[in-house]
Amino acid sequence: MDNRFRFRVAWTFVALICVTTWVCLTAVLYISHEKFRLQNYYFYEREFSKNEADVGIKYRHIPPKKENILPKDEDLFESRSLSGFPSISYADYPDDIIALHDVFISVKTSEKFHSTRLDLILRTWWNTAKEQIYIFTDVDDNQLKNRTDGHIINTKCRRTHHRQDLSCKIGQEYDAFIESGKKWWCHFDDDNYVNVDALLRSLRNYNWKSDVYLGKPSINHVVEAIYKGNKVHFWFATGGAGVCISRSLGEKMNSWSRHGKFQATSERLKLPDDCTLGFIINNRLGVELTKVDEFHSHLEQLSLIQQDKLSQQVSLSYFIDEDKGSNVIELDKKISAYSIEDDPTRFLSLHCLINPKVGWCSKEKAMQRNQVNV
């Protein structure tokens, strides 16, 4: 009796294990099936959504069918990145042309430049895109707040040119771009002149739904640095010439950039803000820098830019120092609205060259001609 009893108990126990296992497997299979079904439903609902632009941001890009696109030869563009690979042409997306309201333009400055560099911007190219430009500084300035209709942001970063403070500001520029929902982020310094029309023409060559990093390197070799004890190599676009980043790429930068992380990344890398951008994009995310020759900083010889090509450039800069001399664009007296004494940066005359219909440009030209005639 004892053996029979033990035998029955053992078989009962085995049977319970088998039943339990079967129930668990059935439940797992059912849950997996439901999850797969719901995922497919979720995907196809969005794939056939009427608003494909939103789908491209949140889920995946669904490009138009190629057979429906018949671009003209002159509409086909190609720009090569530093690696030699062609960037994606915006001609592939003719129904989604970038407009001015799609661009978030940020300008980094500091209190000591409010009455000089920033004032020059507000007198010139600010007026061509005042709704899209936001100024990031380090103090409250009610006069500038009124003058810019509230488009000035006190980052509360320290008022120095040290690495930590520069990265503090650009980190907040990044946060503001992400929150804006714009398709492009273009960062410039307070010693840049930006030809907004040329900027839009340039951006339209690329697809904001792809990972695009636009700018111009200031050195002809990759940067080598140490990050968390390891050697890293990357290209970077100098911030002094301007940098543009697509929405798709911007969202992928979140882990190293959002809510103070950009400054922390810069500190670990021990390099300034523009280098940190390049590190995140080129090294961490593997996205190539696409060189745009129409971006210019004061690190290059600006007088070499041909005068008849100035209106085609996206960004220009200047450098003026009593001891070291100056580095500015060259403008012939016949086409310059101001003399070099009255316009040492040449930005006023450049603005008149690009926007000849501006009232004060015509008046200054007339006065200058009268003086010459006398």
Answer with the one of 237, 259, 291 that is the final residue of a domain.
Answer: 291
Name the band, by pLDDT with cuts 50, 70 and 90, for residue 159. Answer: confident
Within a 13 Å sphere around the CA of 157, how many CA atoms are in the beta-carbon half? 24
Integer Cα distance of 143 and 95 in angstroms: 41
pLDDT digits (tens, 9 = 90+) for 104-127: 999 999 999 999 999 999 999 999
pLDDT digits (tens, 9 = 90+) for 192-227: 999 999 999 999 999 999 999 999 999 999 999 999
Higher-confidence residue: 365 or 175? 175
Name the band, by pLDDT with cuts 50, 70 and 90, for residue 334. Answer: confident
Within a domain: residue 225?
yes
Residue 9, domain extent: 2-48
Do residues 17 and 140 both lie within one domain? no
Do residues 277 and 306 both lie within one domain? no
Do residues 350 and 207 both lie within one domain? no
Answer with the one of 262, 291, 320 that is the final residue of a domain.
Answer: 291
* Token pair in block for residue 74: 């002159």
Residue 25's contacts (CB-CB under 8 Å, 6 or more residues apart) are none
Do residues 198 and 243 both lie within one domain? yes
The domain total for the chain is: 3
CATH of the domain at 163: 3.90.550.50
Do residues 125 and 230 both lie within one domain? yes
Question: What residues are annotated to the active site?
Answer: 274
Within a domain: residue 190?
yes
Mean pLDDT of 35-60: 33
* Token pair in block for residue 92: 């592939």
Within a domain: residue 66?
no
